[in-house]
Structure 1
Amino acid sequence: MEYVGRVPAPPLDRFIDDIYCLTGVPRHRLMNVPPMPSAHLFINLGDPTLLWDSDPSVPPALFTGGWFMGVWTRRFLFEYPSRVRLVGVHFKPWGVSPFIDMPAAELRNRWVPVDAVWQRSLDRIRNQLGEMASATETLRVLEKELRSRLAEAPLRGLDLVQHTGTYLESSHGVVPVRALAEAAGVSGNHLAAQFTSHVGVTPKRVARIYRFARLILSVDALRPVDWSQLAQTAGYFDQAHFIREFKDFTGHTPTEYLALRRRFPAERGFPPDSGPMPAD
């Protein structure tokens, strides 16, 4: 598949890591996705996509159009169609909040059809793009839609969440949440309430996901892996806790994960392949 992506221009870059297009034939159809520090928007311009929650009590979903996803605290799986044409947005953990008229907690660990969040928008976007739009034109249309959806007035508490969330991002989740609250001059409970409103999860949970993301993205399956050193660098000082969390987030032990990555190497220069992994 071909990946074309870029960071949008200000002020969208305060809330979005990148917007991107995926087109072509996937090397692997079924993918296992661990928690990552982002919310998502996907607009499917091709054949339907199937998603499963790792919680077996949640029924799978088939999407022919598009869907929003909030921050996930557990893994999920999705199946690409045989040929992919998809445009997406990686929001920062707090980034989806000013684009939707609903609490971010309602998107936590959920996928929701685009039209349930942005009413009557999906057909308009798809009609603008048609069948032959280039990746550049597709990203331009999506960025225009995002600009039109960005809340004009600052949302209460979002500046606090963005400020402290940026510290969590730059520290890869290692800064203690209590220190963040003290530095911001607010109580831990107030900070947690604002994160729940704008991110959908507490700052402690966001820190855990950033910490895990740093570790998983630093694994080079082509070389020997010192898991103890990687875990310590990422901020895990309890080996048993690290192994439990790793299996909870990926469905595999570190050894199993490494064997899987060596069987199915990530594509160089293909960012979506750095977190998701083929489902074994």
Structure 2
Amino acid sequence: MRYVGRVPGPPLNRFVDDIYCLSGVPRHRRVLVPPMPSAHLFINLGDPVRLSVPDPAVPAAVLVDAWFTGLWTERFLLEYPARVRLVGVHFKPWGLSAFTDIPADELRDRYVPADVVWQRALARIRDRLGEIVSPAEALDLVEQELRSRLAEKPSHTLNLVAQVGTRLERSHGAIPVAALSDAAGVSGNHLAAQFKTHVGVTPKRVARIYRFARLILSVDARVPVDWAEFAHTAGYFDQAHASREFKDFTGHTPTDYLALRRRHPAQDRFPPDAGPMPAE
């Protein structure tokens, strides 16, 4: 499967990590996606994609056309078709709030059709994408759509969350929330309320996800792994704390994860393999 991605320029890069195209035959049809610091837009130009969660009581969703997901705080499973043709956007945890009026907590751990968020836009976007062959042109089109929908002047509260969230991102979740609220000149309760509005969870939960992302993205399964050192570097209290978090987020112990990655190595410079993993 081919990946072509782009980090947009200002001011989109305050709210968007990257825009990308996936096309071709996937290396793994079923992919487990742990909680990562992103919300998403998927525009599917191929056959349906299935999305499910670990709870067997929750039926799988068959996703066609396009859909948004907010920040996920639990792992989920994507099952790709035999051939993939998909255009997507990775938003920063607070990013969707700059492009929609839907409260972020209504999108947390959920997938919703794109037309629910961007009314009557789906057919126009998909028709134009369907006429495009070049991935670069597809990325241009989606970037133009995002720029047209970005508020000219984000609200004061969204600016607050983006400022604090950027500090969490750069520190990989290592800055205490009390220090963040003090630096921003607001109370901890006010900051938590604004994060719930614009992200869907508290800053403490966002910090937890950034910390886990640093842990899993820094592990190289091709060499011996010192989990105690990785846990310390990622900001965990100790190795046991990191192991519990790892099992909670991925469903695997660190040892089982290494065994999985050694059977199915992540492809270098292929972001869809960074964090997400094959589901056996």
Q: CA deviation at 1:54?
A: 2.4
Q: Would you say 1:22 and 2:22 are equivalent positions? A: yes
**1:106 counterpart letter in structure 2:** E
Alignment of structure 1 residues 186-197 onto 2, 5 Å: 186-197=186-197
**2:82 counterpart letter in structure 1:** S
Question: Which residue in 1 is equivalent to 2:81?
Answer: 81
Q: CA deviation at 1:56?
A: 3.2
Question: The residue matched to 1:157 in structure 2 has which SS?
Answer: helix
Question: Which residue in 1 is equivalent to 2:152?
Answer: 152
Question: Which residue in 2 is equivalent to 1:203?
Answer: 203
TM-score, normalised to structure 2's length? 0.98
Measure the CA separation in 2 of the matches of 1:67 and 1:146.
Answer: 15
> RMSD value over aligned CA atoms?
1.0
Alignment of structure 1 residues 62-141 onto 2, 5 Å: 62-141=62-141
Question: The residue matched to 1:58 in structure 2 has which SS?
Answer: coil
CA contact (8 A) 2:20 2:139 kept: yes
Question: Which residue in 2 is equivalent to 1:222?
Answer: 222
Q: CA deviation at 1:238?
A: 3.0
Question: Which residue in 2 is equivalent to 1:235?
Answer: 235
Question: Which residue in 2 is equivalent to 1:165?
Answer: 165
Question: Which residue in 2 is equivalent to 1:278?
Answer: 278
Question: Which residue in 2 is equivalent to 1:248?
Answer: 248
**2:212 counterpart letter in structure 1:** F
- Give 5+ residue unaligned stretches, structure 2: none
Question: Which residue in 2 is equivalent to 1:45?
Answer: 45
Measure the CA separation in 1 of the matches of 2:100 and 2:180.
Answer: 26
Measure the CA separation in 2 of the matches of 1:10 and 1:239.
Answer: 39
Stretch deviating more after TM superposition (252-261 or 238-247): 238-247
1:58-91 CA-to-partner distances (Å, cap 9, x unmatched) read: 3211111111011111100000110000000011
- Give 5+ residue unaligned stretches, structure 1: none
Q: CA deviation at 1:211?
A: 0.3
Q: CA deviation at 1:156?
A: 3.7
Question: The residue matched to 2:41 in structure 1 has which SS?
Answer: strand
Question: The residue matched to 1:82 in structure 2 has which SS?
Answer: coil
Q: Would you say 1:61 and 2:61 are equivalent positions? A: yes
Q: CA deviation at 1:132?
A: 4.7
Q: CA deviation at 1:55?
A: 3.2
The 4+ residue runs of structure 1 with deviation greater than 4 A are none
Question: The residue matched to 1:27 in structure 2 has which SS?
Answer: coil
**1:19 counterpart letter in structure 2:** I
Question: Which residue in 1 is equivalent to 2:33?
Answer: 33
Question: The residue matched to 1:258 in structure 2 has which SS?
Answer: helix
1:147-168 CA-to-partner distances (Å, cap 9, x unmatched) read: 1111233224011111111110
**1:15 counterpart letter in structure 2:** F
Measure the CA separation in 2 of the matches of 1:122 and 1:176.
Answer: 41
% of aligned pairs identical? 72
Measure the CA separation in 2 of the matches of 1:190 and 1:93.
Answer: 18
**1:147 counterpart letter in structure 2:** R
**1:57 counterpart letter in structure 2:** A
TM-score, normalised to structure 1's length? 0.98
